[in-house]
Structures are given as C-alpha cells and as structure tokens.
Amino acid sequence: MIFFVYLIMILNLIISEKYANEILFGKKRQEYRDFKPFYKSKIEGKDITKIQFFVGYSANRVKFICDCTDIVHDENLYEIHIENPIFN
C-alpha cells in the first residue's frame, strides 16, 4: 500500500481592505512585500503553496486564502503571485 503525504505550507499576511477587495474581485494577482529579514525568514527556503490574508488586526477580521503560484524577488521586493481567492 502506498501513501502520499502532501504538505501545505501557508504564509499568513496582513492586508488592507482596499487591496483585499482587489484580490477578491480578480483585479490584483500579485502581492508585494519588502525584502527585509522578517519576510525573508517566512519565505526563503519554504515551499509555500497557500497565502492566508487577514484584513486588518481586529479580532473579528475578514480572512481568505489564495493559491500561491510563484514567489520571485529582487534586492528590494518579494513578488507573490496569487490566484483562486476563497473565503475560509
């Protein structure tokens, strides 16, 4: 008997309501983050398959999840390619 284990790596990010709406309505397909040690520790060397977005910081905030298709970076920014937003 063969078993397959599929790990889902989820990156959690805070986002403003304006950009969340753009993602949910399909206008925004990339999210950008500064190339800083905080994000480097969360992104580098990990096979991230999903991005979970939290809108703001309140206890009853809206959250949704997207598929992560690619993450590229230069010396200034991480460019996170996303698709298929779903409320969870």
Q: Mind giving me the DSSP string for 17-48?
A: HHHHHHHHTTS--EEEEE--HHHHHHHTT--E
The confidence band for 52, taking pLDDT boundaries of 50, 70 and 90, is very high
Strand 77-87 relative to strand 63-73: parallel, antiparallel, unpaired?
A: antiparallel
Q: Please give the residue that has the higher pLDDT: either 18 or 8.
A: 18
Pairwise pLDDT comparison (7 vs 44), residue with the higher score: 44
Q: pTM (2 decimals)?
A: 0.88
Cα angle 52-60-35, degrees, rounded to a multiple of 5: 35
Measure Cα distances from 78 to 2, 3, 42, 61 in Å: 37, 35, 11, 25
The pLDDT of residue 88 is 76
| Residue, of 3 and 31, whose pLDDT is higher | 31
pLDDT value of residue 2: 77
Quote the percentage of the chain above a pLDDT of 70. Answer: 98
Which fold, 9-87? 2.30.130
